[in-house]
């Protein structure tokens, strides 16, 4: 297949490129490197089946060669209040990537009659009142809160994707991605995984926002990619959760990382939670399990070991 990946120089997008190239496909990446990085794709830029276009997805995509699939993964995604590449610092760009970017990417899929996959998010559930989150839950999102620039952009993107499916019969897939971690996460994106690992490697205390009782469920990136490929090759047009249901509190997560890295500095509590920071998050993955025979395989400590070794190299460089 010939596949266009928007955001292909990002954390998840670049792992997707690797897998698709390994499987013999031809990959075109469109990315403006606002949150992605050429470092993530440096090892594949010379591959004869790979091409990179430096472009903002919110601008018209003039793709001359037909593609069999369009995978729309471009968007800022970190909710950090301070990171320059987080969506709170890029509010309009984030809304444009979700709205205009999705429109442009769907336009390419419609033009070439290709499969379209939207990278959606557990953030469509907002601060969820249903736990664990099933795909039929409509969410609890403040439409004008700070996180709305991401949450509502992705909700609009889902609506647009379904409209193209219903109106133009585009073969669409919507993957709702829960917290994912692994090598190539941006070291400075302010999310909990890079923050905690880098703090621990520097023997600093881990900054827990709030009291650490909020929960997340972390999926290793290779498991996510397995699920995405299975979904791409399926005929499921309705949204599908892909994530790891192993739920832990942020405090437990910090303690695990300190133990794995032997960091004696412990944790400090900071009153730093973004408004709308979900109290709990855990995917219900029954649908992916039953319809795709997918389930995550990589245990947290194994995935963290790989991720720690990546960040150790980054800090040593």
Q: In the complex, what is the shortest distance from the CB of residue 133 to ligand UDP, in angstroms, rounded to a whole number?
A: 13
Cβ atoms of 218 and 281 closer than 8 Å: no
Which residues sit at the interface with ligand UDP, rule CB under 6 A?
A: 79-80, 179, 191-192, 195, 207-209, 214, 216, 250, 273, 277
Which residues does 290 contact at the CB level (< 8 Å), separation at least 6? Answer: none
Cβ atoms of 307 and 185 closer than 8 Å: yes
**Considering beta carbons, is residue 247 or 277 the nearer one to ligand UDP?**
277
Which residue, 11, 158, 175, 17, is CA-closest to 78?
Answer: 11
Question: What residue ranges in 55-158 does DSSP mark as E strands?
Answer: 69-72, 115-121
| Radius of gyration, alpha carbons of the chain | 19
Q: In the complex, what is the shortest distance from the CB of residue 144 to ligand UDP, in angstroms, rounded to a whole number?
A: 19
Q: In the complex, what is the shortest distance from the CB of residue 279 to ligand UDP, in angstroms, rounded to a whole number?
A: 8
**Considering beta carbons, is residue 69 or 250 the nearer one to ligand UDP?**
250
- Tell me the C-alpha distance between 35 and 80, whole Å: 13
Q: Determine which one of 150, 164, 181, 220 is catalytic.
A: 150
Cβ atoms of 149 and 95 closer than 8 Å: yes
**Considering beta carbons, is residue 107 or 296 the nearer one to ligand UDP?**
296
Phi, psi of 303, deg, nearest 5: -65, -40
**Considering beta carbons, is residue 116 or 150 the nearer one to ligand UDP?**
150
Q: In the complex, what is the shortest distance from the CB of residue 86 to ligand UDP, in angstroms, rounded to a whole number?
A: 8
Q: In the complex, what is the shortest distance from the CB of residue 118 to ligand UDP, in angstroms, rounded to a whole number?
A: 18
- Secondary structure (H, E, C), 87-154: CCCCHHHHHHHHCHHHHHHHHHHHHHCCEEEEEEEHHHHECCCCCCECCCCCCECCCCCCCHHHHHHH
Cβ atoms of 117 and 72 closer than 8 Å: yes
**Considering beta carbons, is residue 175 or 208 the nearer one to ligand UDP?**
208
**Considering beta carbons, is residue 37 or 274 the nearer one to ligand UDP?**
274
For residue 120, say if its preceding peptide bond is cis, omega within 30 degrees of 0.
no
- Tell me the C-alpha distance between 30 and 206, whole Å: 35
Q: In the complex, what is the shortest distance from the CB of residue 308 to ligand UDP, in angstroms, rounded to a whole number?
A: 16
Give Cα 28 to chain centroid, integer Å. 19
Active site residue 150: yes
- Tell me the C-alpha distance between 302 and 288, whole Å: 23
**Considering beta carbons, is residue 248 or 291 the nearer one to ligand UDP?**
248
Which residues does 274 contact at the CB level (< 8 Å), separation at least 6? Answer: 79, 81, 88, 146, 147
Q: In the complex, what is the shortest distance from the CB of residue 314 to ligand UDP, in angstroms, rounded to a whole number?
A: 17
Tell me the C-alpha to C-alpha distance, in Å, between residue 233 and each of 119, 154, 173, 203. Answer: 15, 22, 9, 44
Q: Which residues are catalytic?
A: 150
């Amino acid at each position: 297949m010939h596949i266009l990946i928007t955001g292909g120089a990002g954390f998840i997008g670049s792992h997707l490129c690797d897998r698709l190239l390994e499987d013999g496909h031809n990959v075109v990446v469109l990315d403006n490197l606002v949150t992605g990085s050429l470092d993530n794709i440096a090892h594949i830029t010379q591959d004869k089946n790979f091409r990179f276009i430096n472009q903002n997805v919110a601008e018209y995509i003039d793709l001359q060669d037909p593609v069999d699939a369009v995978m729309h993964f471009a968007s800022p995604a970190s909710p950090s209040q301070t990171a320059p590449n987080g969506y709170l610092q890029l509010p309009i760009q984030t809304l444009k990537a979700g709205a205009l970017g999705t429109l442009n990417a769907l336009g390419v899929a419609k033009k070439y009659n290709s499969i379209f996959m939207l990278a959606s998010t557990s953030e469509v559930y907002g601060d969820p009142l249903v736990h664990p989150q099933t795909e039929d839950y409509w969410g609890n999102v403040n439409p004008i809160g700070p996180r709305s620039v991401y949450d509502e952009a992705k909700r609009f993107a889902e609506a647009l994707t379904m409209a193209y499916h219903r109106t133009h019969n585009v073969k669409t897939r919507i993957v709702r991605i829960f917290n994912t971690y692994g090598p190539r996460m941006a070291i400075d994106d302010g999310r909990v995984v890079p923050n905690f690992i880098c703090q621990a490697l520097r023997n600093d205390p881990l900054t827990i926002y709030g009291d650490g009782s909020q929960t997340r469920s972390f999926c290793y990136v290779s498991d996510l990619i397995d699920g995405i490929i299975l979904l791409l090759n399926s005929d499921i047009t309705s949204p599908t959760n892909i994530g790891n249901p192993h739920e832990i509190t942020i405090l437990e997560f910090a303690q695990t990382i300190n133990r794995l890295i032997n960091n004696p500095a412990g944790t400090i509590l900071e009153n730093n939670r973004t408004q709308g920071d979900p109290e709990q998050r855990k995917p219900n993955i029954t649908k992916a399990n039953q319809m795709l025979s997918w389930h995550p395989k990589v245990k947290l400590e194994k995935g963290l070991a790989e991720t720690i070794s990546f960040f150790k190299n980054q800090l040593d460089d």
